[in-house]
């Protein structure tokens, strides 16, 4: 028989609902649900034929204090359920709810996809029967306490996947836990969201300034290999723009909408490089963050990781990196779980890796894994025809930064630039021009504004020593020597080796003398 939904407007008085129920029962109506509010009775019923419906309507209208009776499409609670379902079906997270026994009561479409189950088959079953994993939401039923952003690994028909979940207790009016609800989101989507909110404007090949044939060939090669997923090894002296090329390759490739993360392998001690690359579990070491930490390989999932100064990795880390490249899985420090990662690796170095392999300082297997596509960026002294374009680009950049209006450099300045060997390459050129633009008052940079320090010359960059104490003189000399080594090697670890001190000791001195800028790539 047909199902009817009626809205009855009445006076709010004692016994009104009982009067309505009496009329409905006299016609044998099967009441499915009834909602009562002050002055309104909504009822959904069936089991009455057409004649009985007409009599019901007549008898209800004749009741004292019944003002109006009309048929409605849905009851208020049904409308709320429809709205809630529309919301649940439209959110990007998987939503799953259970009652106090752990039986599934709600599962939205995204939840179906995540758990790889059919909603109709899942509802009414215990969560543990549907999800073969220890979901933290079941503990909410015991403790009544929710949780935020817990990382979990789920194994489904599609394999193992990494998710982040937040759960809350469902409580009744007495505050007792009667169920739980949890939201699940794919960790790769979380990373992509964070990346989209925090990423700087993408660097493209149009940001690489050049005019020489040598650089044109390198750029064309980089554009070709950007379309693939193979590992790239970028070679070149410090300051030639290796990270610039890495970012441009990422921006031109199929992973451009995914994260790009970078690490200078020479800038940190081994233990920190390991935890940065691979992450760590809670309690892995003293000072480990509660809940652990994702490593850069996890953060770069489906994107690109750039490993600068790859030649500075210790043998231990070379082995771990080789395993990641071979198996596409990472294991956090202190962890047992192997987490799948899909990452394109771009490495860079200014060292002779072939010589390091021959000496046993760099693993041969790792060398071949990294050197699938070699790119060599020539030093500035071998492409002096790029100087005018690079100078023009620097003027535009520093005009914006320094609020200047410098239009050009004097021809004699350009001639001096052509005679210089540029051991620091483009980074050194930028340094010289930024210094000059701070000194110039007009629109033209002249020879007197140019200060080029020859770091290879003994006593270069000396400071006035009159009146200085012995301690101050020693610090001046120490700062000068450290600056010279950093400019020569481009990284702290090889500079420390050349100076005969520990990497950590050199990092402390770099901070003391404010030389961190010399380590920027």
Q: Where in the sequence is the domain holding 488, given as residue range(s)?
A: 470-519
Q: Which of 29-43, 181-195, 336-350, 479-493 has the lowest mean pLDDT?
A: 181-195
Instruction: Please check whether residues 144 and 257 belong to one and the same domain.
Output: no
**Alpha-carbon distance values, 503 to 262, 270, 272, 330, 496 (Å):** 20, 10, 12, 26, 5
Q: What is the mean pLDDT of residues 268-293?
A: 75
Instruction: Please check whether residues 348 and 425 belong to one and the same domain.
Output: no
In a domain, 285, yes or no: yes
In a domain, 463, yes or no: no
Confidence tier at 188 by pLDDT (50, 70, 90)? low
Instruction: Please check whether residues 247 and 366 belong to one and the same domain.
Output: yes
- Cα separation, 326 vs 341, in Å, equals 11
pLDDT for the residue numbered 375: 96
Instruction: Please check whether residues 59 and 114 belong to one and the same domain.
Output: no
Q: What confidence tens digit (pLDDT) does each residue in 389-446 have?
A: 999 999 999 999 999 999 999 999 999 999 999 999 999 999 999 999 998 888 999 9
CATH code of 143's domain? 3.30.450.20
Q: What is the mean pLDDT of the chain?
A: 87
pLDDT for the residue numbered 461: 43
CATH code of 61's domain? 3.30.70.260
What does the H/E/C string look like for 204-262? Answer: CHHHCCCCCHHHHHHHHHHHHHHCCCCCEEEECCCCCCHHHHHHHHHHHCCCCCCCEEE
In a domain, 86, yes or no: no
In a domain, 81, yes or no: no
In a domain, 273, yes or no: yes
Instruction: Please check whether residues 271 and 372 belong to one and the same domain.
Output: yes
What are the residue ranges of helices labelled H in 62-164?
76-90, 109-115, 119-122, 127-130, 137-143
- The pairing of beta strand 338-340 with beta strand 373-376: unpaired
Is 80 exceeded by the pLDDT of residue 287? no
Instruction: Please check whether residues 363 and 271 belong to one and the same domain.
Output: yes
Instruction: Please check whether residues 232 and 299 belong to one and the same domain.
Output: yes
pLDDT for the residue numbered 315: 92
User: 447, 411 in Cβ contact below 8 A?
Assistant: no
Q: What is the mean pLDDT of residues 69-78?
A: 92
Q: Could you say which of 376, 399, 433 is where a domain stops?
A: 376
Instruction: Please check whether residues 445 and 510 belong to one and the same domain.
Output: no
pLDDT for the residue numbered 465: 45
Instruction: Please check whether residues 368 and 388 belong to one and the same domain.
Output: no
Domain count, the chain: 5
Q: What is the mean pLDDT of residues 185-199?
A: 61
pLDDT for the residue numbered 133: 64
pLDDT for the residue numbered 416: 92
pLDDT for the residue numbered 460: 43
Confidence tier at 289 by pLDDT (50, 70, 90)? low
Q: Could you say which of 128, 154, 187 is where a domain stops?
A: 187
Instruction: Please check whether residues 360 and 391 belong to one and the same domain.
Output: no
pLDDT for the residue numbered 90: 84
CATH code of 391's domain? 1.10.8.60
Q: Could you say which of 343, 376, 409 is where a domain stops?
A: 376
- Cα separation, 275 vs 264, in Å, equals 13
- Cα separation, 329 vs 15, in Å, equals 70
In a domain, 55, yes or no: yes
pLDDT for the residue numbered 462: 43
Instruction: Please check whether residues 291 and 440 belong to one and the same domain.
Output: no
Instruction: Please check whether residues 212 and 351 belong to one and the same domain.
Output: yes
Q: What is the mean pLDDT of residues 300-322?
A: 94
pLDDT for the residue numbered 457: 46
Is 80 exceeded by the pLDDT of residue 120? yes
User: 170, 97 in Cβ contact below 8 A?
Assistant: yes
In a domain, 84, yes or no: no
Is 50 exceeded by the pLDDT of residue 458? no
Instruction: Select the highest-mean-pLDDT range: 129-133, 160-164, 246-250.
Output: 246-250
In a domain, 465, yes or no: no
CATH code of 343's domain? 3.40.50.300
Q: What is the mean pLDDT of residues 143-152?
A: 86
């Amino acid at each position: 028989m047909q199902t009817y939904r009626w809205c009855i407007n009445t006076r709010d008085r004692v016994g009104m609902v009982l009067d309505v129920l009496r009329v409905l029962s006299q016609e044998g109506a099967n009441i499915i649900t009834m909602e009562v509010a002050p002055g309104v009775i909504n009822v959904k019923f069936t089991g009455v034929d057409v004649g009985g419906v007409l009599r019901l309507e007549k008898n209800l209208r004749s009741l004292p204090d019944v003002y109006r009776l009309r048929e409605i499409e849905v009851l208020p609670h049904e409308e709320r359920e429809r709205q809630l379902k529309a919301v649940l079906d439209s959110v990007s997270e998987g939503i799953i709810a259970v009652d106090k026994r752990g039986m599934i009561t709600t599962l939205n479409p995204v939840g179906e996809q995540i758990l790889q189950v059919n909603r109709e088959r899942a509802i009414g079953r215990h969560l543990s029967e549907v999800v073969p994993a220890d979901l933290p939401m079941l503990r909410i039923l015991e403790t009544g306490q929710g949780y935020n952003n817990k990382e979990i690994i789920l194994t489904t028909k599609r394999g193992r996947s990494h998710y982040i979940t937040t759960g809350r207790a469902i409580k009744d009016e007495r505050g007792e836990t009667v169920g739980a609800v949890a939201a699940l989101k794919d960790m790769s989507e979380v990373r992509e969201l964070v990346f989209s909110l925090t990423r700087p404007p993408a660097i493209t090949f149009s940001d690489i300034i050049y005019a020489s044939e040598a650089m044109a060939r390198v750029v064309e090669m980089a554009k070709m290999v950007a379309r693939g997923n193979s590992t790239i090894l970028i070679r070149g002296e410090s300051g030639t723009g290796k990270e610039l090329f890495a970012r441009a390759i990422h921006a031109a490739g199929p992973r451009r909408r995914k994260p790009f993360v970078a690490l200078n392998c020479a800038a940190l001690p081994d233990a920190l490089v390991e935890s940065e690359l691979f992450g760590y579990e809670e309690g892995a070491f003293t000072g480990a963050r509660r809940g652990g930490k994702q490593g850069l390989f996890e953060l770069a999932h489906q994107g690109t990781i750039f490993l600068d100064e790859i030649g500075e990795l210790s043998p231990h880390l070379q082995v771990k990196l080789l395993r990641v490249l071979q198996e596409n899985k990472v294991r956090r420090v202190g962890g047992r779980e192997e987490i799948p990662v899909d990452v394109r690796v771009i490495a860079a170095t200014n060292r002779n890796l072939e010589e390091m392999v021959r000496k046993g300082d760099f693993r041969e297997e790792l060398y071949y894994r990294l050197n699938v596509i070699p790119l060599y960026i020539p030093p500035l002294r071998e492409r002096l025809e790029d100087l005018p374009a690079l100078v023009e680009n620097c003027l535009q950049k520093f005009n914006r930064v320094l609020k200047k209006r410098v239009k050009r450099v004097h021809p004699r300045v350009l001639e001096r630039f052509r005679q210089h060997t540029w051991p620091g390459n483009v980074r050194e050129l930028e340094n010289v021009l930024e210094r000059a633009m701070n000194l110039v008052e007009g629109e033209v940079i002249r020879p007197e504004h140019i200060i080029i320090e020859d770091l290879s010359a003994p006593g270069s960059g000396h400071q006035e020593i009159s009146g200085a104490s012995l301690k101050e003189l020693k610090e001046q000399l120490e700062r000068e020597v450290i600056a010279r080594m950093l400019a020569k090697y481009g990284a702290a670890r090889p500079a420390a080796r050349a100076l005969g001190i520990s990497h950590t000791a050199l990092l402390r001195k770099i901070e003391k003398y404010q030389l961190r800028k010399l380590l920027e790539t």
